A and B are shown apart, each in its own frame.
Chain A
Amino acid sequence: MTEQPPFETFDHTADVGIIARGSNLAEAFANAAKAMFSLMVDLDRVETREERRVEVDAEDREGLLVAWLAELLYMSEVDSVVFNRFDVDEISDTRIAARAFGEPLDLDRHNPKLMIKAVTRHMLQVEPANGGVQVRVVLDI
């Protein structure tokens, strides 16, 4: 990988897209999750006090990316927690098992930003890039 950042966001009319990269699929998926939470809160203000196991299956890599992010979004919304670190223990084209680290959402401390409604399949992409993997997904705001 060259100088490219691990993740960045791009404009999409009413919503926000993210591009995340990694030297392999696991790293790219972890960075995509970081990108998503970076839109919601300041990641460096989140402390690692809780660990959650996440396991999802899908029919293909693109579907897996959507399922992975949607699962994290669901956990975050229902339990009011935010994450800033993701350790992927196992990944294939159709299954991911990982641990997400973070803490309960603290409106005073985390500098809450966007509220994400859902993970879309719009412009969805998982592809090899620069010897690693690059993923692209648009989030509904």
Chain B
Amino acid sequence: MSKGWLKSLEKVDDYRWRLPASYKPGMRVPGLIFADERLLRTMAGDQAVEQVANVAFLPGVVRYSMAMPDIHWGYGFPIGGVAAMRLNGGVVSPGGVGFDINCGARLIRTNLTEAEVRPLLDRLADQLFRDVPSGLGAHGPLRVNDRELDDIMVRGASWMLERGYGAPDDLETTESRGCLAGADPATVSQRARERGREQLCTLGAGNHFLEVEAVEEVYDEAAAQAFGLEVGRVVVFFHCGSRGFGHQVCQDYLEVMEKASRQFDIVLPDRQLACAPIDSKPGRDYLAAMAAAANFAWANRQAIAHWTRGAFAHVFGRSADELGMTQVYDVAHNIAKVEEHRVDGQSMRLCVHRKGATRAFPPGHAEVPPRYRKVGQPVLVPGDMGRYSYVCAGTERAMAETWGSTCHGAGRLQSRGAAKRSLQGVDIIGRLEARGIVVRVRNRGLLAEEASEAYKDVAEVVEVLDRAGISRKVARMKPLAVIKG
């Protein structure tokens, strides 16, 4: 591929590539891409690296515009992008968070073994498919009024817990305890409320999923033990976000930010990077609405966790407690958060944008739950529905280099259309079933678009970050049952 950036990239080491600020006039900082040569080549197919350069234009961006090995073409920011802005003079951009605000992943362990689950797998998949609605037109089991919705926006996952939807421990093992401060319902449109109201406890569609998986390999015994994972153990892994609520918040604020960018004379190489100073009214309003959407997402995943436990209890005839269904962790991978980091030896508060990137705080960090403090924050990395997913752990090096961030998944390799064309006539369900994977999907056409071929190999992605010292591999899981929209 004759991409201009390929010639400009400077190799830092086997896993780091620097895109100098001279690559494009207007870049305030260089780009830094985490990849090996093989993954770097997969980036040549779209505009993702160009977007890494574009993000470097944003006022207040500190040190680097970064990209994880799973990057692919997004809107404004690449998916897999990380950038931190100074609070003073820096900007916040909805394009640096994405439409699905606080899209994230949650992992719940069980005491069950694969051998125990196998005979009941079909029934379990049916039950989960019923209890956690997915796909177009899905409505959740919860009905909330305006006041309750306001509470959810402000309080997040704890709102669900107070109503008995979850175990008390769940908050401790959720990033930010399932609640971002500063959410203000007054900054959220009526439309976002209406879109979100009936979608609590729904999975959505596209790349969202709920999987029953079994741990097939452990790389770091101490961390795996702390996380309650061992080979053969059955776990539940799901991926979803703030549903129509967050999508509408983003849609609403893109318009606000378009105007704000003009008002504040911010020069942008791409309109999708529309942004506003963090300390301006539009900037503050967006952050307050984004926090509301993030809290909605945490409430949503909390509800899904509850109904998932219920489905297991129903099928296995034992309570979730008896089944040992404790939560390993819940992480956001589309979010902007104000965090404390070290810059040039000094502690500084920054607005860290993670768009398709996961927080990966190191051992000893105050925000890592006490039970994991020796091993680091769990990082949940879904792969694709045919292969495997990973659990990793955060590191000091991530804290020093990437604002405590790592990858969020495999990253797409093929477009939806290309995947569909290349898999025409292939019986995807049959292929998965032949490998012992049970599939429940509302829209069968979606399967080809979400097949393994459409994604990079997540093993390569986590390997690069492990070798680069950004996040440590802890365990790998294989899918037993896949629930999709």
Contacts and interface: CB of A to CB of B under 8 A. Distances in A.
Interface in A100-141: 105, 107, 112-115, 117-122, 124, 138, 140-141
Interface stretch (B318-326, B383-391, B441-449): B441-449
Q: Which of A14, A78, A114 has the most CB of B within 10 A?
A: A14
Contacts of B272: 120-122
Interface stretch (A5-13, A46-54, A91-99): A5-13
B206 A13 contact: no
A41 B136 CA distance: 9
A24 interface: no
Interface string A68-95: 0010001001101000000000000000
A43 interface: no
Contacts, number: 96
A10 B258 CA distance: 26
A54 to B, nearest CB: 14
Contacts of B75: 120-122, 138, 140
A13 B378 CA distance: 28
Contacts of A105: 136-137
A115 B271 CA distance: 25
A10 B415 CA distance: 10
Nearest to B48: A13
Contacts of A15: 416
A140 B247 contact: yes
Given A11-B416, A112-B442, A140-B75, A118 B137 contact: no
Contacts of A141: 205-206, 416
B137 A13 contact: no
Given A119-B251, A122-B75, A112 B135 contact: yes
Interface in A1-39: 9-16
Given A112-B135, A113-B445, A140-B75, A121 B417 contact: no
A141 B75 CA distance: 12
Contacts of B100: 117
B250 A118 contact: yes
Contacts of A70: 251
B194 interface: yes
Contacts of A16: 416-417
Interface of B: 46, 72-76, 79, 99-100, 135-137, 191, 194-195, 204-207, 244, 247-248, 250-251, 254-255, 258, 271-272, 412, 415-418, 442-443, 445-446, 485
7 contacts: A14-B416, A78-B191, A115-B206, A118-B248, A121-B272, A138-B75, A141-B206
Given A112-B443, A124-B271, 17 more contacts: A9-B417, A14-B206, A16-B417, A40-B136, A41-B136, A74-B195, A78-B195, A78-B244, A80-B137, A112-B135, A113-B136, A114-B136, A117-B206, A118-B99, A118-B251, A120-B99, A141-B206
